[in-house]
Structure 1
Amino acid sequence: MTTLLDRFSPAQLPASAEAFRADIRNFLAAEMPNLPPERRARSWMGFDAEFSRKLAGKGWVGVTLPRAYGGAQMDAFSRFVLVEELLTAGAPVAAHWIADRQSGPLINKFGSDAQRDFYLPRICQGKAFFCIGMSEPNAGSDLAGVGTRAVRRENGNWTLSGRKIWTTSAQHCHYMIALVRTSGTPQDRHAGLSQFIVDLSLPGVTVRPITDLTGDAHFSEVFFDEVQLDGGALIGEEGSGWTQVTAELAFERSGPERIYSSLVLLESWINWLREHKEPSHEQTVGRFVTHLAALRALSLSVTARLVAGESPVVESALVKDLGTTFEQEIPAAIEALLGEDPREELDRHLVRTCSYLSNISSTFSLRGGTREILRGMIARGLGLR
């Protein structure tokens, strides 16, 4: 019997990607902001436009995009190494993250020549930051149930009305790629969906940040009140939005960012154990390291599929589901272990880092697709539903 795991072939990073790792570490040693671990734990939700532009100066924003647009034209293996090093260090990468990971590749693959010529150089220069317009208040986890609508006018332009929610960094970004309905109703499911590039400075766009349990406001709700879009805002063909967004989500779900969100905490805790010569938690450390090695191998296998030009949607869903479970287990386990002896003096930065991740980790299984939706995709991929 064939299983989903049979689709994962062992993959190794090529020598060129490993050589790239040394360059990244040298850059981080020179340019990484001096942040305590509770700030580094935010990493790909830490917005620092200046740091992102320093990366862009090295050619490492739009790292997989063609050189003709200012990209480094590296493969997905090189991006894997770049992401791995940035997240392990806890670098603040939110400013360019979405544009580099998915918006740029999406425009490069499905966009018009005019869109590629305009947006891709700006992404690679760190001058255009993007956010994702998928989730909606009344659609829950059902991405196909979006109700935000764009209506075509006689002059070929569009009027956009509706709203999006849980949009990361929208208050800081220049553009949103929004999945909206251009025909039919939410009951028509995948049919009638299209993607648009929305300039967030346009009249009729309102962005309202949402404060979370940690006191941060990296999520926002975005309102569109008859926003006027020109005909060039449509990405690809009208009605092709579902096919495009599915390919986009493969980029979003497959990388190390779905594994490494809690690694700053794990590293801080292990360092604390070393300093206190505390051997009693070796089994827990060993379990986390083993899980990390297995998840990294799965993510590398998906990366190899991307390098081969494939769209491993179901495989990415599996890695994302397993990876976010791992990310949530780390703060839960460490918090419990830190509380075993209330008389023990703990490092305040370690406690703050653990507190932050304990509060925010519940969102890890929501962003990029909820656990329930992903498991439905995996079941369909196995022919079980």
Structure 2
Amino acid sequence: MTTLLSQFRLARLPAEAEAFRAEVKAFLSTQMPPVPPDIRARSWMGFSAEFSRRMAERGWVGLTLPREYGGASLNAFSRFVLVEELLAAGAPVSAHWIADRQSGPLILKYGTEKQRRFYLPRICAAEAFFCIGMSEPNSGSDLASVGTRAIRMESGWRLNGRKIWTTNAEHCEYMIALVRTSGGPEDRHKGLSQFIVDLSLPGVTVRPIRDLSGDAHFSEVFFDDVALADDALIGQEGGGWEQVTAELAFERSGPERLYSSIVLLDHWIGCLRKSGEAGLHAATIGRFVAHLATLRNMSITVTSQLVSGQSPVVGAALVKDIGTEFEQSIPAVIEAAIAADPSAETDADLYRTVAYLSQIAPTFSLRGGTREILRGMIARGLGLR
């Protein structure tokens, strides 16, 4: 237990990262589309290639990637500030999100020089959008049980299988897929590899899945005898589990695991101030602020570990688990506060925003690893299993 808890020593954002915040705020003040809060609440699910390209013009897509590949060569602290401000404003960042957050760093770390030269400049220019191929039907949260398989041929690979809950697959050019290249599901982590799949290839079929809110962010993706070139493989054959574990540390540790409901919270507080009722909910607001401040400090600590070259898998899992619980509590509490006085007039924007987040909030603890899986990882980190 001491080992895990010692990872969360207080860390602070450096002065240069805080100075960068003013630049981001100035950009958002002129570039954010004038949309209501229920649209801004979609933020990192909001797809706008145009907005992503405006960010790329500033060098803010692939922010942490080296300049030689089109990036800005800034560290994870600067990316933390950028992400925090984008989500607080409700910017539509979904188009470039996956490529910027994890696909680019993954290719940088494990890819060949040819892969780096081809994909990274396109990511940084917001010309190539990536999705993740991890989850599969009938596998639940057991990522090691994947059945999608790539078989080595005389020239390249032959891919068959399917992936599900793939965000933005219908809008993306590429998927980084975790597939089996040897053995079977009983071999668990052995025999897994990662491939870059061009989604325009023959044999790839993308079927959007409409969710409770009416959006269709997710898709099911089918691979039927898809021919992949030799250089579609990332890293070493059979090294997929180590690679995907490192990738998930990027996915689980950022501010997006804290701020999914922040537009709603901000709008609710604004409505309370206008009506003069903020004092009636001061204790609730105070609890939210205290929880957010603590979680933010934990996330900054994980970010500091990424900056130092570590892979804080267990720490990131802890932040993600507690963070998504916080995100889910916001719409539940605000919904209850509105329902407590049925005769009171409710701001229309507030009503639409809380309705949307109440529908989508259950997914917060699913994406990036379910709560049960994460708590198993945390238990191992504490030496409890």
Q: Which TM-score band applies after superposition, normalised by the shorter structure?
A: over 0.9
Deviations along 1:68-112, one digit per CA (max 9) or x if unpaired, are 011001000000000000000000000000000000000000000
Unaligned regions of 5+ residues in structure 2, if any? Answer: none
Deviations along 1:143-198, one digit per CA (max 9) or x if unpaired, are 0010000000022x000000000000001000000000000001100000000000
Instruction: State the 1:3 CA deviation.
Output: 5.7
Match in the other structure for 1:290: 290
The one-letter code of the counterpart of 1:239 is G
Unaligned regions of 5+ residues in structure 1, if any? Answer: none
Match in the other structure for 1:177: 176
The one-letter code of the counterpart of 2:212 is L
Match in the other structure for 1:323: 323
Deviations along 1:8-50, one digit per CA (max 9) or x if unpaired, are 1111111110010011011001111111000000000000000
Q: 1:109 to 1:3 in 2, by over 3 A?
A: closer
CA distance in 1, matches of 2:5, 2:135: 29
CA distance in 1, matches of 2:325, 2:5: 18
TM-score after normalising by structure 2: 0.99
Match in the other structure for 2:22: 22
CA distance in 1, matches of 2:381, 2:187: 22
Matched, 1:73 2:69: no
The one-letter code of the counterpart of 1:47 is F
CA distance in 1, matches of 2:348, 2:100: 34
Instruction: State the 1:312 CA deviation.
Output: 0.2
Matched, 1:341 2:341: yes
Match in the other structure for 1:240: 239
CA distance in 2, matches of 1:383, 1:56: 43
Matched, 1:378 2:381: no
CA distance in 2, matches of 1:355, 1:24: 30
Equivalences for residues 53-72 of structure 1 within 5 A? 53-72=53-72
Match in the other structure for 1:189: 188
Tell me the C-alpha RMSD between the 2 structures: 0.6
List, as ranges, runs of 4+ consecutive aligned residues in structure 1 with deviation greater than 6 Å: none
CA distance in 1, matches of 2:140, 2:149: 17
% same residue: 72
Which secondary structure state, in structure 1, belongs to the residue aligned with residue 107 of structure 2?
helix
Which secondary structure state, in structure 2, belongs to the residue aligned with residue 280 of structure 1?
helix
CA distance in 1, matches of 2:372, 2:282: 33
Match in the other structure for 2:132: 132
Instruction: State the 1:5 CA deviation.
Output: 2.1
Instruction: State the 1:202 CA deviation.
Output: 0.4
Which secondary structure state, in structure 2, belongs to the residue aligned with residue 267 of structure 1?
helix
Deviations along 1:281-329, one digit per CA (max 9) or x if unpaired, are 1000000000000000000000000000000000000000000000000
CA distance in 2, matches of 1:275, 1:369: 39
CA distance in 1, matches of 2:10, 2:340: 40
Instruction: State the 1:4 CA deviation.
Output: 2.5
Count of aligned pairs: 384
Matched, 1:264 2:253: no
CA distance in 1, matches of 2:243, 2:5: 25
CA distance in 2, matches of 1:302, 1:260: 16
CA distance in 2, matches of 1:310, 1:4: 14
CA distance in 2, matches of 1:182, 1:102: 22
CA distance in 2, matches of 1:3, 1:212: 40
CA distance in 2, matches of 1:363, 1:101: 19
Which secondary structure state, in structure 2, belongs to the residue aligned with residue 252 of structure 1?
helix
Equivalences for residues 109-128 of structure 1 within 5 A? 109-128=109-128
Match in the other structure for 2:10: 10
CA distance in 2, matches of 1:343, 1:5: 47
